[in-house]
Each structure stands twice: as structure tokens, then as C-alpha cells.
Amino acid sequence: MVKEEEKLYSDVPPTKLRNKDEKFRPAKTNKFWLWVASMFFFNMIQNRFYAFRYKGEETAVEKGIPTILYAPHGNWWDGIVFYNIVHRIFHKEIRMMIEELNRFPLFHKGGGYPVNKKSPQSAMKALKYSVDVVCDLKNILCIFPQGIIRPPHYRPIEFQTGLAYIAQNAVKRMGKVNLVPIAFDYCFLRDNRPEVIIEFGKPYTLTAEASAQMDRKDLTHILEQELTAVCDKQRDEIAHGEVDDHKILFKQHLKWYRRIEQRLKRIDIPPVADV
């Protein structure tokens, strides 16, 4: 039998699995460390991926309205991708809850803060701090509401209620919050390296009036459906090769052997005459 800590995907959160405590610390940023993190995390994805494509960002962030971006959590790169979305597409500061933040100290300098699911009291501190984060319009809160890493394209998409708690409490202060579902995919298209494909769904605008008429579970279910819809839409578009309408954050130059391949394809070789 495979031990729980050796499973590729475990239903137990890392803080419970490894049984390690971590005290809550607010995100601590300054211009120097934000610059370092921005350069470091951008270089990371540039070195590993051929291109970064995205679409739908035009309506994702509305001036003067708090924004929460939420997405499925399928692999280690998700946090790095979120960082680049916020800093390089929206030009704001990211705030993100991270389990075992002590393993990723640069994230703390760049806008991360810990959530310890082993301790309900500590987890609640992270949620209450998240409400403060959302209400500060220089930030964008990014969250993985499943609360655990799931396999790519995992269904059904099911959330814990933390996202709904944050949104409903932020609405009490701000009157309105935009919750934006985002689909992440990492796939091989026509190159020998994978590409990052991002699709922003339409914002779900939560108002104080609407929030007062639903409980946390109702809101959670709505947000699950919103994310499932945009993820399914992206999956179908990729399956049909519909990525030409995406904007490009970066795209690598072809390797030397791919350039030779492209040139060979353009050579018009005359047919061999019959003898």
C-alpha cells in the first residue's frame, strides 16, 4: 500500500500531512523584493515554456472594484503563473495564501502569506487577513479554492468555503466584489516545449444585496459552476486548436534545428521524372 505522503495526489493538505506548524505572517513586500520576484518568476517560466498565451483579461479587472482571481490547482507552476498574471498583465501586487510558505521564502517577499490548515485558528487568521487584502485596491487576491492539488482536468470541481467567506465579508465593507474564474492549461502544441494557456472567464459580480440572500454554501456552488464552465470551454478550444485569438505574453525564438526544419519545408523539390 502506498503511504499517504508518497501519493502523487493526496486528499490530505500538506500542513496536516507533514504535521508542521507555521505561524501566520502578513505578506511583506517592498519595491526591491517585488522587482526581484518579478524577474525571477518571469525567467522561470521563460526557461521552461515555449509561449504564454492568454485571453479574456479585458473585463477581468474593473477600476475601483475589488478583484479576486480564482483557479484550479493542478501543479507546482500555478503559483508562478498567477504571479506573472498579476504583475505583468494587470500591473498590481499579488496576494496569495500558500501552505508551507517557509519552503518558498521568496513568495513571502513577493506577496504570499501562510495558511496552516492543521490549526483552525491559524487558518481563520489567514481568511480574515485575506478580507483586508481584497479591500486594498492596489492588490489582487489569487486563490485556489479547492484547497488542495488535484489532477489536471479533475472533475467535479469542488471548493472549500474559504473563497465564499472572503468574498462575502469583503462585500460588507466594499459593497461589491468581482470574482474572476481562470482556466490554466499546460500543453504541447506545435513546439517541442509546452505552452502556458490562460483563459479568463467573465467576472461574477457579488453585491451586498445578492450576498445577503445566499449562504456560504450557495455562493460556493455558484463559483464552482463558473470555474467549471470556463475550464470546459478552454479544454474544448484547445482540443480544436483554437488558440490563435490569444494574446502572447512571451514566445520563444525557434531553436536552430526548428529553423532548419522550417527552411526545408519551404524548399520546392521537383518531382522525379519516370524513367
> What's 245's domain CATH number?
3.40.1130
What gap in Å lies between CA 188 and CA 15, rounded to an integer? 33
- Per-residue pLDDT of 54-63, as tens digits, reads 999 999 999 9
Higher-scoring residue by pLDDT: 116, 151:
151
What gap in Å lies between CA 115 and CA 50, rounded to an integer? 33
3 in any annotated domain: no
Residue 119's pLDDT is: 81
Q: What are phi and psi of 210, to 5 degrees?
A: -65, -40
234 in any annotated domain: yes
- 167 three-state secondary structure: helix
In whole numbers, what is the pLDDT of the chain averaged over residues? Answer: 90
Domain total for the chain? 1
Task: Pick the range with the lowest mean pLDDT from 15-24, 68-77, 195-204.
Answer: 15-24
172 in any annotated domain: yes
271 in any annotated domain: no
275 in any annotated domain: no
Domain assignment of residue 242, given as a range:
14-266
What gap in Å lies between CA 34 and CA 98, rounded to an integer? 17
pLDDT at position 35 over 80? yes
User: CB 29: neighbour CB atoms within 10 A?
Assistant: 18
Q: Please, which pLDDT band fits residue 110 given cuts at 50, 70 and 90? A: very high
Residue 122's pLDDT is: 83
Q: Answer whether 162's CB lies under 8 Å from 218's CB.
A: no
Residue 121's pLDDT is: 85
195 in any annotated domain: yes
Residue 62's pLDDT is: 93
Q: pTM (2 decimals)?
A: 0.89
Q: Please, which pLDDT band fits residue 3 given cuts at 50, 70 and 90? A: low
- Per-residue pLDDT of 220-275, as tens digits, reads 999 999 999 999 999 999 999 999 999 999 999 766 566 666 666 677 666 665 65
The rounded percent of the chain whose pLDDT value lies above 70 is: 90
Cis peptide bond N-terminal to 26, omega within 30:
no
6 in any annotated domain: no
Higher-scoring residue by pLDDT: 12, 97:
97
54 in any annotated domain: yes
The rounded percent of the chain whose pLDDT value lies above 90 is: 73
Residue 155's pLDDT is: 96
